[in-house]
Structure 1
């Protein structure tokens, strides 16, 4: 029964992932102006859990929530100056660049790196935000999410590796 519920949970999470643009565009897509209200459809946390600045970007972890066998990480990136394109910044697919599948959680207590969950038995799409090939201007905030297999219940905090956006240490799991 638990296996059926876990598969159902992954299917629901995978269905909730929303594509944010044409993933087939080349990285030289036309520049599109964005405003401070530009957001992908990602689950939001209750507040800022951790924050840091990475170049011209403010990166905020807004939640790391446990739900039985899964944890979901949510974070925002705000462009402080210049412009930014999320395409390929957090993806394992450098040619496609259209997701955040390279983001990981690091359980230092057990020495394990947790990768983003994938549909179709681990070979399908990531259970995470799909990234549009879009340039964001100063003031724009873009929200992201990724779901992982949960660390053991005894693990209450992990490190979060956002690839080119840097890492956060000791992020609490709620």
Structure 2
């Protein structure tokens, strides 16, 4: 949980950068009682971790080694698709590298893995970024419910 209107924290801070509990409570003061209770119930030793927007790597494999999930294409948490993309990568790799695949065939199949997955990853990146824009930025284009449904599929019943 983080306020997008707060000034940027020190980009060079480590994982132990501390936050201001009072400022967090103020930012969420207009929210429902349930949301307000979250920052109010925390300890005073808040940690502040900035979310960085990173592009997917140019290459997800080298030789017979491959990266998948956030190691290849790190997503921000705005539509909760990072884990799903990792699972999709794993299924793709399992399909392209069935038991008995000859070692000499692996590099070309990993090239196919990246080629097959790249468009989907870029599509989800686009909508993750749209959903993560600052709500106070009136010039920003936000993701519609229809677009979110297209990316995530039907909700679980």
Q: TM-score, normalised by structure 2?
A: 0.31
Decide which structure has greater helix share.
2
Decide which structure has greater strand share.
1
Larger Rg: 2
Q: TM-score, normalised by structure 1?
A: 0.29
Select the structure with the greater relative contact order (CA < 8 A; seq sep ≥ 6). 1
